Amino acid sequence: MPKIPLMMPLAVARLVLSTSILASCALGSEEYLREAVDHATQSDIAARWGPPVTEQRGADGVTVWTYEYRVNRPIPVCRDIPVSDCVRGRQDCTAYYLTFDAEKILRNWIKGPC
């Protein structure tokens, strides 16, 4: 049976804590978006979230901004895999697609995979 370094439980605990914090940030973001529809501007969103990962502009003036949230999730059972993979875990990604009208007002948003 391989020996697990003493620091490994601490590393896993930090990973779990950071995952929980980031997940709560994403949920808070969804609440903000629900309240922001039909009145928040691109400037309002950019002030809160920063610049989007991508920006697509249509000929009709409609713009879609994409934001991505990446969260590392620990692997719950670490038997039969290298210790480094157990600590690293896997990365989940959630994208938020925000649609603005020609007047730069948020009109819709959807959540999906990256």
pLDDT higher than 50, residue 96: yes
pLDDT (average), residues 53-65: 97
Residue type at position 104: K
CA distance 48 to 109: 16
DSSP 105: B
The pLDDT value given to residue 15: 40
21-46 pLDDT, tens per residue? 344 445 478 999 999 999 999 999 99
Range(s) of the domain holding residue 65: 7-113
More confident residue, 101 or 88: 101
Is 109:98 a contact under the CB 8 Å cutoff?
A: yes
The pLDDT value given to residue 79: 65
Cα→Cα distances 102→53, 69, 107, Å: 20, 26, 10
pLDDT (average), residues 81-97: 74
Domain-located, residue 1:
no
Cα→Cα distances 24→20, 31, 44, 91, Å: 6, 11, 21, 16
CA distance 88 to 79: 14
Domain-located, residue 51:
yes
Residue type at position 84: S
CATH number at residue 35: 3.30.1450
Place 77 in a pLDDT band, splitting at 50, 70 and 90: low
Domain count, the chain: 1
Domain-located, residue 102:
yes
Q: What is the overall mean pLDDT for the chain?
A: 79
The owner of tokens 């600590």 is 87
pLDDT higher than 50, residue 7: no
The pLDDT value given to residue 17: 38
